[in-house]
Structure 1
Amino acid sequence: MDVFVYGTLTEPDRVAEVLDSYVYVGPATLFGLHLVEGRYPTLAPGGETAGRLLRTEESDALDEYEGVETGLYRRVAVPLDAPDGHPDEAAVYVGDPDRLDADAAWPGEGDEGGTGDVGDEGDDDRGFAARVDRYLERADVRVRLTP
């Protein structure tokens, strides 16, 4: 699995604490989402983010590190623009800005980008997940490996 990393996982020492086997493929840029600082870095709609492409088969270890099970971060797949021999998609971890004390808003949070569906309210984790999914369906979000 190729993963676009943009925060603590750009640091080899940190990655070595989390994963037994990995390789940095190279520098990459995420288009359609920009970096937002909070308790931990996260992403918000629009702009772009510089980072690295990391390759590993240890998705469970990354999910645990990112708090996927508790809804702190979500792992999503976005198209990967890279030479032949690379996967068609890269994983990206997107953190819930409310839980990370980050100043970020996703369409559906009280603006006209929301659908008004019942799913926009209620469980914060599912509401955040639904807003991210809607944005990714509508926006051109992708990772490009830097040559």
Structure 2
Amino acid sequence: MKVFVYGTLMQNHRANFLLSRQKYIGPGEIYGFSLYKVSNWYPGVVPREGDRVKGEIYELIHEAEKTLTRLDDYEGEGSLYQRILTKAVDQKGEEHEVFVYVYNGTVDEEKYIPYEQQPWRG
């Protein structure tokens, strides 16, 4: 079971401790999504054809189900974000089936974060 993260769960960010016992695969990208600043503290991705988002790929190797539940709680799964299955590509070009948290609200186009300005750094 793998996850793709693009915000506060990435390395050197405040919530990365939730993934501290998991296997870091490395930088990756998801296609068909756009990145937005949705608050002063965190970003969100929404589906958008032709766009892509930079982030990190992790494999949940320690207490995977429990970790996924913790991530769901942290992300507000079902309200603020929705966890979906998609594909991510790592730096070697290998595809990974990953869970990603998609923002469930309305985004402001003025807060779009272009690919060239990614990954998000808070």
- Could you tell me which runs of 5 or more consecutive residues in structure 2 were left unpaired when the two chains were aligned: 110-122
Could you tell me whether the CA contact under 8 Å between 2:6 and 2:54 is conserved in 1? yes
Report percent identity of matched pairs.
31
Could you tell me whether the CA contact under 8 Å between 2:10 and 2:16 is conserved in 1? yes
Asked whether 1:15 is paired with 2:23, we answer: no
Calculate the aligned-residue CA RMSD, in Å: 2.3
Considering fraction of residues, name the structure with more strand.
2
Could you tell me whether the CA contact under 8 Å between 2:31 and 2:53 is conserved in 1? yes
CA distance in 2, matches of 1:38, 1:88: 26
Greater C-alpha radius of gyration: 1
Aligned AA for 1:79?
A: K
Higher relative contact order (CA 8 A, sep 6+): 2
Cα 1:19–1:27 change in 2 (3 A) is closer
Choose which of 96, 119, 125 in structure 1 pairs with 2:104: 96
The CA deviation string for residues 70-94 of structure 1, in whole angstroms up to 9 with x for no partner, is x110000013456xxx885111100
Displacement of 1:20 in angstroms is: 5.5
Displacement of 1:48 in angstroms is: 0.7
Q: TM-score, normalised by structure 1?
A: 0.57
- Other-structure match for 2:45: 43
How many corresponding residue pairs?
96
Runs of 4 or more, structure 1, over 6 Å off, are none
Secondary structure in structure 2 of the residue aligned to 1:61: helix
Considering fraction of residues, name the structure with more helix.
1
Cα 1:68–1:12 change in 2 (3 A) is same
- Other-structure match for 1:72: 80
Aligned AA for 1:54?
A: Y
Displacement of 1:23 in angstroms is: 2.2
Displacement of 1:95 in angstroms is: 1.1
CA distance in 1, matches of 2:53, 2:19: 23
CA distance in 2, matches of 1:24, 1:75: 19
